[in-house]
Amino acid sequence: MTGQLTTGIATLCHEIVTRVSSDAGQQVRQISNRLHDPLRVAIAGRLKAGKSTLVNAMIGRRVAPTAAGECTRVVTRFRYGPADRIDVVTRDGERHSLPLDDDGMVPARLGVPATRIAYVDVALTSDRLRDLTVVDTPGLASTDTAGSARAEAAVGIDDDSADEVAAAEAVVYVFTQAVRADDVRALEAFHTASARLATSPINAIGVLGKVDTLVGGAGDPWPVAEPLARQQAGLLLRTVGDVVPVAGLLAETTTAGRLTGTDRDALAALAALPADDLRILLLSADLFRTRPAPLGPDQRERLLIRLDLYGIGYACALLAAEPRLGTGELVRRLCAASGLDRLTATVDQTFRWRSDAIKAGWALTRLERLASFDPQSRPVIRDAVEQALRDPAYHRLRLLDAAQRAATGAVTLPPDWEQELIRLATSDDPRWILRLPEADAGQLASAAVLAAGRWRAYAVDGAGPAQARLAHVAHRGFQLLAQEVRQCRT
């Protein structure tokens, strides 16, 4: 998965790999290979927040264990592979292969003490992983200090595991109910323990998980979930770019193919009950298990495990309205009701375009670090990097850095200016950047020139030193945007 910037850096690596020392050449190859990997997203959240359930939904297979065990205490990477395979990677670099268990999941016991494990590498044949690698992190605990030792203890990420997490281009934080003070502290601990992963609203989103538990029984949670997600987004304004509500269990069941034709028939039998009987049945899990109904105890428990009361109630409503609804269409509608489609779209829109710049910036940083530690290769590497940065296309890296500084509050800008800078850094759509959805190319070019002038004026009159540096970056960005629009026009 490469874009214009990463392609350029990969070409740079190819050109210099034979001109540097053998040790440096090996690292240059590793950097180049990493540029071709899919988008990597780390999933973080408190214990029992539903992280692993969300991972399974994103992968499209129930493979990540959701019950506490050895594998939930270590970093686990899920990536595409030609065959299903599990490798436990220890801190000394050894790999210990394991099969999936009888249920097709990562086994609860890994055969290696958790203290020796750097991460677990899981290759799967899931098509969803062809352009997405998911990194499941240990559940966060709260912490009262930003000290690295406490942070590592709370997060469960040591230096070896942090390398795997820090390679992610983006982060999804999973919350339940309301954001508490210790949730925020736990996130700060995650930042500390994985400091090499520069998280900000530019490359992080939140998920309000388990929304189906927000109201009692089979009640509709969405009138509560939507405003609660907006409230969380406001509380975490400097941490995540958005908060998306998701019914994780419903998403996992429908994407992992866990709802069968037999389940559909059982739901249809429930849907045929008198409305008052069904309503009472769905008031609580205990009533669902014990009240008279045309299902045996095993089938009832199976539906609860896969759908919970909200999913059962929603499925019954669909089947009551359309008794001939087939299993495939029922699954599709239940998936739509889970909110997963919105999360997938948000990940795609929020991260994929930016990942080209994020990866390129990561690679350049690694190359510059390599040059500082290898005097023999230093001139070759630095000359190549300097030559690459002369390309105007790489100004996007400076824009992304400026936007991150503004979005995290490291540099304070007026709210409207901050949002304009973030749009410029995170999109290639001039109509969206300039908020002119109906404008033609000429109008867009003129608006970009005016925006460049505004930022230039702000930089020289009214901005402090830190704000001025960001303003100069934005000024140049709008100049380049105007040039691009004119070129497209001709």
Distance CA 213, CA 203 (A): 28
Distance CA 350, CA 353 (A): 7
What pLDDT was estimated at residue 379? 94
What pLDDT was estimated at residue 232? 86
Distance CA 93, CA 243 (A): 37
What pLDDT was estimated at residue 351? 76
Question: In this structure, how many other beta carbons lie within 10 angstroms of the beta carbon of residue 295?
Answer: 16
DSSP state at residue 440: -
Q: Are 311 and 319 in contact (CB under 8 A)?
A: no
* Residue whose entry in the numeric block shows the structure tokens 């590592």: 152
Query: What are the pLDDT digits (tens) for 198-247?
Result: 567 777 889 999 999 888 788 899 999 999 999 888 888 777 888 999 99
Burial of 90 (0-12, 13-18, 19+ CB in 10 A): middle
Q: Is the pLDDT of residue 145 over 50?
A: no
Cα atoms found within 13 Å of the Cα of residue 486, Cβ hemisphere only: 11
Q: What is the mean pLDDT of the chain?
A: 86
Distance CA 381, CA 31 (A): 13
308: left (phi over 0), alpha (psi -120 to 50) or beta: left
Distance CA 64, CA 55 (A): 7
Nearest to 172 by CA among 63, 53, 332, 79: 53
Q: Three-state SS for 172?
A: strand
Query: What are the pLDDT digits (tens) for 249-264?
Result: 999 999 999 999 999 9
Distance CA 62, CA 300 (A): 20
Which residues are CB-neighbours of 160 under 8 A, at least 6 positions away? 91, 118, 119
What pLDDT was estimated at residue 146? 41
Nearest to 396 by CA among 364, 354, 363: 354
Which contiguous run of DSSP H or E holds residue 119? strand 117-124
What pLDDT was estimated at residue 141? 60
Q: Is the pLDDT of residue 268 over 50?
A: yes
Distance CA 94, CA 4 (A): 35
Q: What are phi and psi of 279, to 5 degrees?
A: -60, -45
Q: Three-state SS for 174?
A: strand
Q: Is the pLDDT of residue 399 over 70?
A: yes
Q: Percent of the chain beyond pLDDT 90?
A: 52
Nearest to 165 by CA among 156, 154, 174: 156
Contacts 24+ apart (CB under 8 A), 343-348: 343/58, 343/207, 343/244, 343/246, 344/58, 346/205, 346/242, 346/244, 347/41, 347/132, 347/170, 347/172, 347/205
Query: What are the pLDDT digits (tens) for 6-55?
Result: 899 999 999 999 999 999 999 999 999 988 888 888 888 877 888 899 99
Burial of 408 (0-12, 13-18, 19+ CB in 10 A): middle
Average the pLDDT over 62-67 and give the result. 86
Q: Which domains does the chain have, with CATH numbers?
A: 1-37+351-390 (no CATH), 40-247 (3.40.50.300), 257-338 (no CATH), 395-490 (no CATH)
End-to-end CA distance of the chain: 30
Q: Are 123 and 88 in contact (CB under 8 A)?
A: no
Cα atoms found within 13 Å of the Cα of residue 35, Cβ hemisphere only: 29
Query: What are the pLDDT digits (tens) for 102-120?
Result: 888 999 888 888 888 888 9
Nearest to 153 by CA among 140, 134, 167: 140
Distance CA 57, CA 210 (A): 13
Q: Is the pLDDT of residue 87 over 90?
A: yes
Average the pLDDT over 160-182 and give the result. 69
Average the pLDDT over 184-200 and give the result. 54
Nearest to 66 by CA among 251, 261, 236: 251
